[in-house]
Structure 1
Amino acid sequence: MAANRVTPVGDTQDPFAAPGSWFGTRWLVRWVKEHWLWPLLALAAFVRFYDLTAAAIWGDEGSSLLLARYSLSEIWKHAAFDVHPPLYFMLLHGWIELFGDGIFAIRCLSALAGIAAVGMGIWLVDRLATRRAAFVAGLLLALLPTAVRYSQEVRMYALLGLLLIAASVALVYWIRRPQRHRYLVVYTLLMSAALYTHYFAVLAALCHWLYLIVIRVQRGYRFRHIQRWSWWLANLAIVALYLPWLPNLLDLMQHMEQLKAGGDVGWEPAVTLSSLPSMIWSWLIQDDGESLPMLVFVALPMALLALAVVAVMRDLSVSRGSVLLALYTGLPLLLVFVVSFISPVFIERYLTAYALGLPMLAAMAVDRLYSRARLFALAVLVSLIGVELVGLSNNANVDSNDQLDRVVNYVNQHFLPGDRIITSDMLWYLSYVYYDRTGAQIRLYTPPTADGQTTRPNEYGFGTLVNRNVYLDSLAELQGQGRVWLIGTFDGPEEFSPLPATWQPSAEIHAGGIKARLFTPKPRAD
């Protein structure tokens, strides 16, 4: 098979060289000796651990922590009513058992997964192209702002990226040595784990199938892997491993309207044609870019598209590895964009795992440009790094003194036995309970609508994490019960209006978009 490969100009290695023992000593020794690899991983670690605890836990992270408090069997049960599968929450449960629930400890799980994903990306490009391309990919992956951001959150997105890139590596190794079924076993386990981590993992499976079709029908050397019984058996095994969760997924799909009613899905604004380039800008600078001049707004996505074309068109290898990366990056982006015209799900964090393909694809293009136009290739690389540094700067723009935890700590310090604490919104509730040290039951204000309809969440989505006795439908229930803390926003309409006439404000503090106000009973008139 290796004899049929046409080596690109500037290629210093054969990506289909015998891999040896994949998980054995030879592989480990080889990579330990790769001194260029460690600075890249150190850079990835630095940007992910920098200011790791600066931002307060927000609502989605709080939901992860609430779910992780349950036993493994209860996590399975409650995740069945949530919008995400259970694997990440189970891992977080075990992680907390080992390292505690301090904010640094719990965010380390994602940070380490993000760093490992950079290593996997380097490994993948090293198999598909040259060592130079692998180095550039590692540099761009280490600095990718969307990957850094979600490597600093107590959510599943960094883990998903790691699993999908690792599965792609296993696929590439199997294509090289299809007789070695252990690569497909690894692929099966990784893809199954990815599907138990996030439902959008199915898009990666689709990309892998399409890639095998492309290399089957391409001109010249044709790979017949998609016709192999082992490939079909591996995918059947993935389905079989997913069957225990399938009834939960089907039930969840039947109750999507309840999820929408609870605000857990469908809250994203409707997409427009500008949403697609905005997503690219969000991946790279953590800003939708829509305030930029139109020419600039369109130029960057078009430039990246041109790089993708260069990577694919100048790929002379028989495996056409650039096609794999192009599909992995572009297909999920386009599919989710189109689907979002029907049901808005075009959300950055859902696609961050696929954004990892963008630096790898760009690295392959830069590598191929370097062979013929070195100065231009270096200018492209410097420009990409500059854009990513802007995004990292935006990520790091967090004022640790203007965060929700400052408000909660104030309440913790001034809390007296018998005080009541009421939050106005589910997301505030999920964040607040992580920092609360009072031991009081934090309650969620859910006043009926004007026509008497309840605003309590149903049992799907975040509602599965909250007991019924947490809800408070009327502030009048608290009259005569002493001091009350109201926790809500301070830049919008009054969430708690009308307040009982017998209350008077006593103290308040605000930070991070949230305000805590203490109300005490008015003195009785003589």
Structure 2
Amino acid sequence: MTSVLASRLTASPLPGRSLWMRRSPGWSAGLVGLVACLISFAWSWQPSYWGDEAASIMSAERSLPSLFGMLDNVDAVHGVYYLFLHGWIDLFGSSELSTRLPSAIAIGVAASGTVVLARFFMGSRVAIGGGLVFALIPRVTYMGSEARSTAIATAIGVWLTVLLVHAVRSEGARRSHQILLWGGYSLLLALGIYVFLFLALLLPVHAVVVLVLARSHLLWRSVVAWVSASALGLLLAAPIFLAGSAQREQIAFIGRRPQVTVSEAAVMQWFDTIPVAIVAWALILVAVLAVFLRGPVTHRSTGLPGRAGLAVFVAWMVIPSAILLIGTQLVPMYSLRYLSLCAPAVGIVIAVGVAALANNWLRAASVLALVAVIVPAYAAQRGDFGKNEGSDWRQAADIIATEATPGDGVVFDQSVRPSRVPRLAMHLYPEAFAGLHDVTLTRPYDATTWLWDEVEPLTDALPAVTALDRVWLLQYSGSGDSRRETDVRTLTVQGFHVAQSTLVNRTRIIEMTR
């Protein structure tokens, strides 16, 4: 089976393809990448920052000594991305548009790689469709508009797999050429793990790739070469594994969350909404049934992959997900975002499902249905409150900038988890809070080896209030009423009263004056 598939990988172009597709495969991949980049970039600046992005921005804005001191204590697994973002912000600033742009570019690079990779196993039209579907998946458009490392890691994962395919297919070529390919694989694997530790989940998938592609008489040679290159990559990445293990308590919060069920993962892992999940999984099922029922080889008439070819992408979808879903029962490790690196395979398999439908009318209808259910999710992501279920810090900062005056005090609700603490608005939009007195601050974050500021309860900071005539409270509206009212009562005892209260989206701004 594998030898037949390998011969098909170099088969002549599909009949009926355009001259552009036959002569310019690189251009088609590049064009898909450009479209994907634009889809992720469009309106990416519209939503307010949220907590994970706050960790990125605040860490990147530290001085290098402060950043290295923090990484020695926490978030070492994101250190390479923070260092990159440190330089990026120095050049282009820290606006939402600027800091989210690298992720949009990375999605374009990943989409191009998806087309290149899929073309090894199937016709160009199906491969191009896979790249375009990948660009539309809600998980992809979300991570492509976020100042985090996930999109960059996904791009590395795609091209790492492309490099693996080249290396396996080049077994039997000059030894110097093989050493170059396998050495590049080791280095790119190590880099990917430094960017995103869970990229190591691709290794079992790559084992499948090697078994599928290796020619029978070179199978063991290919296996040995891949195992050696993977071992070298893991050895180079050993420091980040050790650092991540030492700081594993940082993700202990996952164990305090309700366990994610398979059905929840089937929706939220890539598709965001139930309608998108229904259409997507229906097309995935069509792909699996059509390919596995039709036969073992690539079909020139349809461009569909053979069984072994589709198995690569199904394995990419299933194996990392299964490892995390099962493994989290023993050690809390599962997060929906961690499986973003499987999205390229999802896009390819969906495209195979579209191509497998009986006629062009059904294919067009399936694409329209997929786009129709994706558009509402895309629009919600690009709304003012599209991040983290409604983050509204920029809008709250705008109100403070308009209403507050230098010399006023400001107090932030500290009763919620770090990713939702309103205090982060002050660091993400500092101009709005310029001249205000941060009443409860004891030590700024960049003077610590932790991610956030050190603060004290308002009841311990009352001497700082005596000289103030107006104080602004920023409260998380999801806090319990008793906890939310504590600071109000404390200031009321000090002679203040509520002048006005404004609910933005989930942040309540309370103006208190004497």
For the aligned pair, the TM-score class normalised by the smaller chain equals 0.7 to 0.9
Q: Who is 1:474 aligned against? A: 459
Retained in 2: the 8 A contact 1:271–1:340? no
Q: Which amino acid aligns with 2:352?
A: M
- In the aligned structure 1, how far is the partner of 2:411 from the partner of 2:197? 34
SS in 1 for 2:498: strand
Q: Specify which of 219, 222, 230 is matched with residue 223 of structure 1.
A: 219
Mapping 1:343-354, distance limit 5 Å: 343=331, 345-354=333-342
Q: Who is 1:487 aligned against? A: 474
SS in 1 for 2:508: strand
Cα 1:103/1:273, change in 2 over 3 Å: closer
Cα displacement (A) at 1:222? 6.9
Cα 1:88/1:488, change in 2 over 3 Å: same
CA distances 1:346-402 after superposition (whole Å, capped 9, x unpaired)? 4332211212210112223444x26x7555445444443444334323433446999
1:56 matched to 2:45? The reply is: no
Cα displacement (A) at 1:132? 1.3
Cα displacement (A) at 1:504? 1.2
Q: Specify which of 403, 409, 419 is matched with residue 420 of structure 1.
A: 409
Mapping 1:11-30, distance limit 5 Å: 12-13=12-13
Cα 1:171/1:301, change in 2 over 3 Å: same
CA distances 1:272-303 after superposition (whole Å, capped 9, x unpaired)? 343233335xx23x22x3xx8xxx97785355
SS in 2 for 1:507: strand
CA distances 1:463-511 after superposition (whole Å, capped 9, x unpaired)? 812343x343636524414132211123542334332212212233331
CA distances 1:15-73 after superposition (whole Å, capped 9, x unpaired)? xxxxxxxxxxxxxx9556x3x44553343233212211110011110110111123445
Retained in 2: the 8 A contact 1:429–1:442? no
Q: How many residues align?
A: 472
- RMSD value, Cα: 3.7
- In the aligned structure 1, how far is the partner of 2:191 from the partner of 2:6? 35
CA distances 1:431-470 after superposition (whole Å, capped 9, x unpaired)? 4321122155646699xxxxxxxxx9x99xx9812343x3
- In the aligned structure 2, how far is the partner of 1:177 from the partner of 1:7? 13
Cα displacement (A) at 1:250? 2.5
Cα displacement (A) at 1:414? 3.4
Cα displacement (A) at 1:92? 0.7
- In the aligned structure 2, how far is the partner of 1:488 from the partner of 1:146? 30
Which range is displaced more, 309-318 or 344-353? 309-318
Q: Who is 1:75 aligned against? A: 67
Cα displacement (A) at 1:323? 2.4
Q: TM-score, normalised by structure 2?
A: 0.80
Cα displacement (A) at 1:166? 0.9
Q: Who is 1:393 aligned against? A: 379
Q: Who is 2:20 aligned against? A: none
- In the aligned structure 1, how far is the partner of 2:392 from the partner of 2:46? 8
Q: Who is 1:308 aligned against? A: 288
Q: Who is 1:182 aligned against? A: 180
Cα 1:8/1:442, change in 2 over 3 Å: farther
Unpaired runs of 5+ in structure 1?
15-28, 447-455, 522-526
- In the aligned structure 2, how far is the partner of 1:182 from the partner of 1:9? 22
SS in 2 for 1:519: strand
Which range is displaced more, 94-103 or 430-439? 430-439
SS in 1 for 2:188: helix
Task: Indicate the percent of aligned positions where both proteins have the same amino acid.
Answer: 19
Q: Who is 1:320 aligned against? A: 308
- In the aligned structure 1, how far is the partner of 2:98 from the partner of 2:278? 40
Cα displacement (A) at 1:404? 2.4
Q: Which amino acid aligns with 2:477?
A: F
Mapping 1:116-135, distance limit 5 Å: 116-135=109-128
Retained in 1: the 8 A contact 2:498–2:513? yes
Retained in 2: the 8 A contact 1:268–1:345? no
1:334 matched to 2:322? The reply is: yes
Q: Who is 1:212 aligned against? A: 210
Retained in 2: the 8 A contact 1:44–1:142? yes
Q: Specify which of 196, 199, 219 is matched with residue 197 of structure 2.
A: 199
Q: Which amino acid aligns with 1:361?
A: V
Mapping 1:147-186, distance limit 5 Å: 147-178=140-171, 179=173, 180-186=178-184
- In the aligned structure 2, how far is the partner of 1:441 from the partner of 1:353? 43
Q: Who is 2:399 aligned against? A: 410
Q: Which amino acid aligns with 1:308?
A: V
- In the aligned structure 2, how far is the partner of 1:130 from the partner of 1:301? 22
- In the aligned structure 2, how far is the partner of 1:98 from the partner of 1:514? 32
Q: Who is 1:251 aligned against? A: 246
Q: Which amino acid aligns with 1:359?
A: G
Which range is displaced more, 400-409 or 110-119? 400-409
Which range is displaced more, 320-329 or 50-59? 320-329
CA distances 1:108-162 after superposition (whole Å, capped 9, x unpaired)? 1111111111111111112222111122112212212210111101111111110
SS in 2 for 1:332: helix
SS in 1 for 2:513: strand
1:239 matched to 2:234? The reply is: yes
Q: Who is 2:86 aligned against? A: 93
Q: TM-score, normalised by structure 1?
A: 0.78
Would you tell me which structure has more helix in proportion to its own residues? 2
- In the aligned structure 2, how far is the partner of 1:162 from the partner of 1:101? 23
SS in 2 for 1:137: helix
